[in-house]
Structure 1
Amino acid sequence: MINRRQFLNYSAAVAGSAAFSRYAMAANPMPFGASDGAMPAIDVAGARFPEGFLWGTATASYQVEGAWKADGKGPSIWDTFSHTVGKVKGGDTGDVACDSYHRYKEDIALMKQMNQKSCRFSVTWARIQPTGTGQVNQKGLDFYSRYVDELLGAGIRPMCTVFHWDLPQALEDRGGWPNRDLYKHFADYSAIVAKTLGDRVTTWAIFNEPWVFTNLGYGTGVHAPGRKDFNLFLKAAHTVNLAQGEAFRAMKAVSPKAQIGSAYSMSPPTPASDSAADRAAADRYHAINNVFFLYTAKHGEYPKAFVGNPPYDVMGVRDGDGKIMQAPLDWIGINYYNRHIVADAGNGGDPYTHYHEWMPAEGPVTYNGWEVWPRGLYDIVTRISNEYDKPIIEITENGCSYSDGPLPEDPSKAPDPRRIEFYRGHLAELARAIKDGANVRGYHAWSLLDNYEWAEGYSQRFGLVYVDFRDQKRTIKDSGHWYSRVASTSRLDG
């Protein structure tokens, strides 16, 4: 699966198509629904959102904080990975990133200026427990406490993600997520965070995109810690499922009023043909890519993601693990970026799952080569809504990469019309999902700031706010001003 944080290079043909699409849309931005017929029509004017809908933005600790070894913070796997030659484009690191550790008040002021009512942020495990276990670093907790207070003072709901990929290196040295013992350490850490911030933070995401950090970190090696073994991915995934359930209970124990979910990367699959084999392959894709950590929490068992006998022995599944993994999540977070086509692979594809998948390019293409397909957000939200009995849903990430920056003749302005059209189309489709019965209470644009985009370093810009990484100057893009109007009126046609 190609994920936002994987950014695999496309072929020269796709790159040429992307360049043409960028040129064409910059010259004459085309509203969704007015294309050549490949893009389904979208009703922007009729889009409506419920009263009290939470408009927000999202960030992640390693991607924005910087201060990588300040005030007692220990090293994380992303510190190690980014400091390893050849792992990140341009040799970029998150050592400084957006310097939000020192500039968080400025960033929160931008959120307030943009009429935001929710901020999804994450905490760094190694900033709170430098080695992942044992003694707590009070300076790290104090930072996040100040951050939360600043949000509340600005009238913004804090939504805290407990783990957004930056595992303490000391725990990786002990085996990382494939090491079953890690789930207990994670529960201890989660309880520390919830006990400290739980008097002010009521909405929590335990994990961000668990499929991504387990598969890309241990299966393909594209991300930290850079290990390449499908069996390690399966072991890591099982540990994370155990950790999700154990952390849920640990956090509820110290903060009973906490509303706890997780943020899952989801891409709606379309069978490559109407054959039974391709339809079954698309179902397996959905099971392992979209709900491998959600279904398990809800049902205490794994979905039907494998061909033949499930590899539970490889995963390290033990009797009684179902009860540990099960957690009645209070809400479900969906991160949506693109759709996928899925075909049965016979005996090929990934071990145990046996499918091929790819991202089409019928719609416009973003700077990093991803298809823009707003309809996919409607499809995945309504599917999850129907499969899980109309749960509370929040869109925890949705966004796009374009390279637009401030105008040379007027640096206070940063026009980015393609990003506005991206958000307009996706939000219209989200409004349609709500109209059709999905219980969606909030939306978080990825991202507030241009930031460190993992293995792509600083080469991809997803922000509503432009960041000049030479001097950290922030400039709200046209899309940021547009989004602030949407947040104020809950309308897309203004």
Structure 2
Amino acid sequence: MARIDFPKDFVWGTATASYQIEGAWQEDGRGPSIWDTFSKTPGKVFNGDNGDVACDSYHRYEEDIALLKKLGVKAYRFSIAWPRIFPQGTGEVNEKGLDYYRKVVDGLIAAGIEPCVTLYHWDLPQALQDKGGWDNRDTIDAFVNYSEVIFKAFNGKIKQWITFNETWCVSFLSNYLGLHAPGNTDLQLAVNVAHHCMVAHGEAVKKFRELGIEGEIGTTHNLYWFEPYSTSPEDAAAARRNRAFNNEWFMEPTFKGTYPQFLVDWFKGKGAEVPILPGDMETISQKIDFIGVNFYSGGFGRYKKDEGLFDCEEVQVGFDKTYMDWNVYADGLYKVLSWAHEEYGDTPIYITENGACYEDVLTEDNRVHDVLRKEYFKKHFIQCHRLIESGVPLKGYFAWSLLDNFEWAEGYRKRFGIVYTNYETLERYPKDSYYFIQDVIKNNGFEA
């Protein structure tokens, strides 16, 4: 068997998001978010589930930090809930909200774990949504104000900052496909939201630099590897449009200060134009210290007129599937990060999310034998190693997710955790995948 060894400074971590794990939705001054509203709108979330309690990490964070320490991670990526800091989105700072995150950050540091913080992981204060949300450019100013408060409160303690998680989801999934909060189905609105979020990212980076905050700042995009079913020009063009929807639309403004013209033209043909104001593209393309990449899947597509937004039909070619019905395409991780490195240069890359959902069963002795998830991680770790050996500046990997949690529109029926959550008792049980990753971290590699 071949031995796979990672660089000594490779960062192993795991990740969560505030609304998915914290609960305590009305405690200590927290205001409502768009996910509180969306999840309580009939028909939006499976089984009517919501994040009122979730994993109750607001009260059990010490237990979760102990799980992280036992796992052996160097870093933990989590998000701060904007409505805990500014219940109305702006105005007076809610000190109790800051105090909670101070306890989390101090607990992580005491355990020898670097906190990696995401400023926006989808829980926009509902008060701002009521004023137009990300369609309203005033929300950009509100985000920068919120970011400044967090930067100053944690300067010197948090060394790795992520402005936004998956702007594609914030914009297109939530405002064109309507599957996530706030649940709109308007292409022009989605294009507006995507642009304004990226401007907000750039403004936050500018504020970070202006304040002289310690550490590094970047953003996270969810990339998807989609390739043509055949060599025909029609298939190639259709697959590229579909791929660019996730990839180039967000990466090109981040690194080059432009939108891909072929997609600008395509959207224009669908009646949607990017609301660019003078200076926006310079702001969006502020130099960042790293790029976060969330990767889950990929596929093959061919041209089919009037199929979806891009005249592109996905063709099933025999991939194994996760319980989310997503293709297991580990080689796609190698391909998409190789592409990103070739296209956008030597900016350090962190895989800020990667993981799999499967149907987990807790045994009588409180174990979860999640063989498929272990295999999923192993396959993707091998691709990470290939990337490093190929000269791609991949610096770390954060497994999604530490805990089974509120899986957005899927409620609690879909489990991504390496730790099993009993939603009735809130007890946590490490799965076999947890122990596999623990061993990989301990040895900084494995036998492939």
CA distance in 2 between counterparts of 1:465 and 1:141 reads 27
Q: Name the amino acid aligned to 1:370.
A: W
1:380 to 2:324 alignment: no
CA distance in 2 between counterparts of 1:128 and 1:46 reads 47
Q: Name the amino acid aligned to 2:237.
A: A
- Deviation, 1:228, is 1.1
Q: In structure 2, the residue corresponding to 1:403 is in which secondary structure? A: coil
CA distance in 1 between counterparts of 2:120 and 2:327 reads 28
Percent identity of equivalent pairs? 43
Question: Quick check: 2:176–2:187 contact (8 Å CA) kept in 1?
Answer: yes
1:463 to 2:422 alignment: no
1:334 to 2:288 alignment: no
2:284 aligns with 325
Relative to structure 2, which stretch is displaced further, 46-55 or 204-213? 46-55
Q: In structure 2, the residue corresponding to 1:66 is in which secondary structure? A: coil
1:217 aligns with 174
- Deviation, 1:226, is 0.9
1:282 to 2:236 alignment: no
CA distance in 2 between counterparts of 1:264 and 1:360 reads 25
CA distance in 1 between counterparts of 2:317 and 2:409 reads 23
- Deviation, 1:330, is 0.7
Q: Name the amino acid aligned to 1:81.
A: F
1:454 aligns with 408
CA distance in 1 between counterparts of 2:281 and 2:122 reads 24
1:82-93 → structure 2 map (5 Å cutoff): 82-93=39-50
Question: Quick check: 1:72–1:137 contact (8 Å CA) kept in 2?
Answer: yes
Q: Name the amino acid aligned to 2:72.
A: N
Question: Quick check: 1:122–1:161 contact (8 Å CA) kept in 2?
Answer: yes
Question: Quick check: 1:285–1:305 contact (8 Å CA) kept in 2?
Answer: no
2:345 aligns with 389
For residues 137-164 of structure 1, what are the alpha-carbon distances to aligned partners after superposition, in whole Å with 9 as ceiling and x for unaligned? 1111111111111111111111100000
- Deviation, 1:177, is 1.1
1:493 aligns with 447
- Deviation, 1:122, is 0.3
1:18 aligns with none
Q: Name the amino acid aligned to 1:404.
A: D
Q: In structure 2, the residue corresponding to 1:315 is in which secondary structure? A: coil
Give the counterpart of 2:23 among 45, 63, 66. Answer: 66
- Deviation, 1:47, is 2.3
Change (3 A) 1:307 1:198: closer
Question: Quick check: 2:156–2:213 contact (8 Å CA) kept in 1?
Answer: no
1:364 aligns with 320
1:432 aligns with 386
CA distance in 1 between counterparts of 2:195 and 2:444 reads 40
- Deviation, 1:219, is 0.6
CA distance in 2 between counterparts of 1:416 and 1:346 reads 41
- Deviation, 1:355, is 3.4
For residues 252-309 of structure 1, what are the alpha-carbon distances to aligned partners after superposition, in whole Å with 9 as ceiling and x for unaligned? 2224333111111111110122122322333333333113222212222212352637
CA distance in 2 between counterparts of 1:335 and 1:477 reads 22
Question: How large is the Cα RMSD of the aligned pairs?
Answer: 1.7
CA distance in 1 between counterparts of 2:171 and 2:156 reads 31
Structure 2 stretches lacking a partner, 5+ long: none
- Deviation, 1:199, is 1.7
For residues 435-486 of structure 1, what are the alpha-carbon distances to aligned partners after superposition, in whole Å with 9 as ceiling and x for unaligned? 0111111101100000000000000011000000001111111110111000
For residues 48-94 of structure 1, what are the alpha-carbon distances to aligned partners after superposition, in whole Å with 9 as ceiling and x for unaligned? 21112111100000000000111000000000011111111011000
1:316 aligns with 275
For residues 189-227 of structure 1, what are the alpha-carbon distances to aligned partners after superposition, in whole Å with 9 as ceiling and x for unaligned? 111111111221111111100001211211111111111
Change (3 A) 1:138 1:255: farther
Structure 1 stretches lacking a partner, 5+ long: 1-43
1:98-177 → structure 2 map (5 Å cutoff): 98-177=55-134
Give the counterpart of 1:401 among 357, 362, 365. Answer: 357
CA distance in 2 between counterparts of 1:322 and 1:270 reads 28
Question: Quick check: 2:17–2:121 contact (8 Å CA) kept in 1?
Answer: yes
CA distance in 1 between counterparts of 2:431 and 2:280 reads 48
Q: Name the amino acid aligned to 1:110.
A: L
More helix by share: 2
1:408-427 → structure 2 map (5 Å cutoff): 408=364, 410-411=365-366, 413-427=367-381
Relative to structure 2, which stretch is displaced further, 136-145 or 449-458? 136-145
Change (3 A) 1:458 1:255: farther
Q: In structure 2, the residue corresponding to 1:492 is in which secondary structure? A: strand
Q: In structure 2, the residue corresponding to 1:314 is in which secondary structure? A: coil
For residues 161-189 of structure 1, what are the alpha-carbon distances to aligned partners after superposition, in whole Å with 9 as ceiling and x for unaligned? 00000100011000111122221211111
Change (3 A) 1:368 1:287: closer
CA distance in 2 between counterparts of 1:343 and 1:49 reads 37
For residues 6-25 of structure 1, what are the alpha-carbon distances to aligned partners after superposition, in whole Å with 9 as ceiling and x for unaligned? xxxxxxxxxxxxxxxxxxxx
Q: In structure 2, the residue corresponding to 1:471 is in which secondary structure? A: coil
CA distance in 2 between counterparts of 1:281 and 1:462 reads 31
Change (3 A) 1:475 1:347: closer
